[in-house]
Amino acid sequence: MTSPSKLPKEVANYFPYESVRPYQDQFISTVYNAVKERRSVLIEGSNGLGKTISALSAVLPIALEKKLKVLYVARTHRQHERVIEELKAISKRQPVSGVSLRGRNEMCLYRFDSNQHYDAKSLSEVCEVMKAKGTCPYYKGADQQSYDYLQLQQMICTKSYKASEIMRICKKRNLCPYELVKSALSEVNVVALSYLYVFEPDIRNAFLKGLETQMAKIILVVDEAHNLPETAVDISSSNLSLFMMRQAELEANRFGYEDAEAFAKLLYEETQKRAENVHKEEQIDPGFIDSVREKAGVLAPRSFYSHLGELGNQVKKTLLSEGKHPRSYINAMSEFLLRWTETAGDEAYINVISKYFTRETAQTSKLEIVALDPSKTTQPVFSSTYANVVMSGTLQPLDAFAKITKMPEGTVEHVAPSPFPREHILSVVCFGVTTAMESRTSAMYQTFIRRIQEVVRNTPVNTGIFTASYEVSRSLIAEGLQDALEKPLFFERRGMTSKANEKLVEEFKEHALTGGAVFLGVQGGRTSEGVDFPGNQMNSVIIIGLPYAEPTPRVKAQIAYYEKQFPTRGREYGYVLPAMKKASQCAGRPVRTLEDKGAIVFMDSRFASGYCKTFLPEWVKRDLRIVPAKDGALAQEIHAFFNRQQKN
Distance, in Å, from the CA atom of 92 to the CA atom of 314, rounded to the nearest integer, reads 53
The pLDDT tens digits of the residues spanning 35-73 come to 999 999 999 998 778 999 999 999 999 999 999 999 999
Task: State residue 442's pLDDT score.
Answer: 97
DSSP of 177-206, one letter per residue?
Answer: HHHHHHHHTTT-SEEEE-THHHHSHHHHHH
CATH of the domain at 308: 1.10.275.40
- The arrangement of strands across the sheet holding 190-193 comes to 160-161, 98-100, 190-193, 69-73, 218-222, 387-392, 41-44, 412-415
What pLDDT score was predicted for residue 16? 93
Residue 1 has pLDDT above 70, yes or no: no
What CA–CA distance (Å, rounded) separates 319 from 329? 13
> Do residues 393 and 489 both lie within one domain?
no
Q: Give the contacts of 450 (CB within 8 A, at least 6 positions apart).
A: 631
pLDDT tens figures, 464-477: 999 999 999 999 99
Specify whether 348 is located in the same domain as 310. Answer: yes
Average pLDDT over residues 139-149: 68
Q: Is 12 in the same domain as 46? A: yes
Query: Do 350 and 429 reside in the same domain of the chain?
Result: no
Band the pLDDT of 387: cuts 50, 70, 90.
very high
Range 367-374 average pLDDT: 97
Q: Using CA atoms, how far apart are residues 176 and 178, in angstroms rounded to an integer?
A: 6
Tell me how far apart the alpha carbons of residues 216 and 136 are, in angstroms, rounded to a whole number: 36
Question: Could you give the dihedral angle defined by the CA atoms of residues 311, 312, 318 and 322, in that order, rounded to the nearest 10 degrees?
Answer: 160
First to last CA, the chain: 19
Band (142; pLDDT cuts 50, 70, 90): low
- How far apart CA 255 and CA 263 sit, in angstroms, is 15
**Is the same domain home to 181 and 276?**
no
What is the domain-level CATH number for residue 63?
3.40.50.300
Number of Cβ atoms within 10 Å of the Cβ of 320:
17
Cα distances from 319 to residues 68, 126, 261, 323, 556, in angstroms, run 42, 10, 18, 6, 43
Which residue pairs from 145-152 have beta carbons closer than 8 angstroms and sit at least 24 positions apart in sequence?
148/173, 149/175, 149/180, 152/180
Mean pLDDT of the region 255-267: 96
pLDDT at 144: 67
State yes or no: pLDDT of 361 exceeds 80. no
211-223: per-residue pLDDT in tens?
Answer: 989 999 999 999 9
How much is the pLDDT for 133?
75
State whether 224 and 258 are in the same domain: no
Residues 451 and 405 in one domain: no
Burial 503-527 (b: 16+ CB within 10 A, else e): ebbeebbebbeeebbbbbbbbbbbb
Amino acid at site 618? E
- % of the chain beyond a pLDDT of 70: 96
Would you state the pLDDT for residue 339? 97
Q: Are residues 79 and 211 in the same domain?
A: yes
Q: Which of 385, 415, 445 delimits the end of a domain?
A: 415
Which spans in 459-511 are helix H? 470-478, 481-484, 498-510
Burial class (CB within 10 angstroms; exposed 0-12, middle 13-18, buried 19+) of 46: buried
Residues 194 and 71 occupy one common structural domain: yes
Q: What is the domain count for the chain?
A: 3
CB neighbours (10 Å) of residue 64?
Answer: 16
Q: How far apart are CA 70 and CA 553, in angstroms?
A: 40
User: What is the Cα 556 distance to its own chain's centre?
Assistant: 23
Percent of all residues in the chain with a pLDDT value above 90, rounded to a whole number = 70
pLDDT over 90 at 321, yes or no:
no
Q: What is the pLDDT of residue 117?
A: 67
Going by C-alpha positions, the residue among 131, 117, 121 that lies closest to residue 313 is 121
Q: Which of 415, 438, 469 is the last residue of a domain?
A: 415
Which residue has better confidence, 85 or 526? 85
**Confidence band for 526, pLDDT divided at 50, 70 and 90:** confident
Do 126 and 326 form a contact (C-beta atoms < 8 A)?
yes
Q: Which is nearest to 244 in space by CA: 268, 266, 260?
A: 268
Q: How much is the average pLDDT of 586-615?
A: 91
Please indicate, yes or no, whether residues 519 and 557 belong to a single structural domain of this protein: yes
- pLDDT at position 114 over 70: no
What would the pLDDT profile of 329-342 be if each residue is shown by its tens digit? 999 999 999 999 99
Residue 141's pLDDT is 60
Using an 8 Å Cβ cutoff, are 271 and 245 in contact?
Answer: yes
Q: What is the pLDDT of residues 548-575, one digit of tens each?
A: 999 999 999 999 999 999 999 999 999 9
Helix residue ranges per DSSP H, 216-371: 228-236, 242-255, 258-275, 287-295, 301-321, 329-343
| Residues 629 and 566 reside in one and the same domain | yes
- Do residues 327 and 460 both lie within one domain? no
Q: Return mean pLDDT, the chain.
A: 91
Q: Domain end: 308, 340, 371, which one?
A: 371
Q: 407 and 222 in contact (C-beta within 8 Å)?
A: no
Structural domain of residue 282, as residue ranges? 236-371
